[in-house]
Amino acid sequence: MGATYLVVGLGNIGAEYAGTRHNMGFMILDAWAQASNVLFKTDRYGDVAEVSFKGRWFVLLKPSTYMNLSGKAVRYWMQTLNLPMENLIVISDDLNLPFGTLRMRANGSSGGHNGLENIAECLESEQWARIRVGIGNEFTRGGQIDYVLGDLSQEEKEQVPALASRVIQGIKDVSTIGMQRAMNTVNTRPKLKKPEENGGNGPKSGLETPEM
């Protein structure tokens, strides 16, 4: 069997959080599971699903420990699967990036994200990959909590499938062509075609939607 990866989407459990900006990690894993026709099953410290791609296996984990204690679930599953740090990829939301911007890194600091910080504490390491999904920071002073725990706008919801597709393809690329080349693709925003390239029907994304 090929390599196994633990892919963690960060979020908070409960219907009241389902469509919130802070649950971007959950949304992306839900999209991957749906496109792969697999279902999440409730297991220890989270909901888990498995998908395969070109001989590689991806264990998708949505921690049930709530955001600030995400590390407890990640540590348990890393130990259970007996995986090296380089086979862990964490997906989180990020206030410091414009909505729709993606940043993949092979390692790094938490950037003030409580979920990432707790994972680093529990694993006693920051040497694991993360993909930060920009949610923007369109809030007034003192409104950060309400913003991240607020629902996505309709316009933002419409962009989630394309965002999920890019993230998923990036993770698959990590397993096939390596982290550096995957980063080069994920961290490049899709270019918009000029109107004349679309027969005068207005701009469309120049990025083909990869298979999920």
> What Cα–Cα distance (Å) separates residue 36 from each residue in 58, 175, 176, 212?
11, 17, 18, 7
Q: Are 88 and 6 within 8 A, CB to CB?
A: yes
CATH number for the domain including 87? 3.40.50.1470
| Catalytic pick among 5, 11, 20, 22 | 22
Q: What pLDDT is recorded for position 188?
A: 81
pLDDT at 1: 56
The answer to whether residue 204 sits within a structural domain is no
Q: pTM for this one?
A: 0.87
22 is catalytic: yes
Mean pLDDT of 122-137: 96
Classify residue 208: in a domain, yes or no. no
Per-residue model confidence as pLDDT tens digits over 188-211: 876 544 444 444 444 333 333 333
Structure-block tokens of residue 87: 């086979």
Assess if residue 207 is contained within a domain: no
pLDDT of residue 139: 83
CB contact at 8 A, 77 and 6: yes
Task: Provide the domain limits for residue 124.
Answer: 4-198
191 belongs to a structural domain: yes
Q: Examine residue 205 and state whether it is found in any structural domain, yes or no.
A: no
Q: 209 in a domain, yes or no? A: no
Scan for tokens 């862990």, then name that residue.
88
Predicted confidence at residue 134, as pLDDT, reads 95
Task: Report the relative pairing of strands 88-94 and 41-43 from DSSP bridges.
Answer: unpaired
Is residue 28 one of the residues assigned to a domain? yes
User: Do 193 and 208 meet the contact criterion of CB atoms below 8 Å apart?
Assistant: no
pLDDT tens-digit profile of 134-187? 999 888 888 888 999 999 999 999 999 999 999 999 999 999 999 999 999 899
pLDDT of 115 above 60: yes
Could you report the per-residue pLDDT of 52-111, keeping only the tens digit for each?
999 999 999 999 999 999 999 999 999 999 999 999 999 999 999 999 999 999 999 998
Question: In this structure, what token pair is assigned to residue 24?
Answer: 């971007």
Residue 123 lies in a domain: yes
> What's the confidence (pLDDT) of residue 111?
87
Number of domains in the chain: 1
Cα 132 to Cα 187: distance, rounded to the nearest angstrom: 10
The order of strands in the sheet holding 46-53 is 41-43, 46-53, 56-63, 4-9, 88-94, 129-134, 102-105
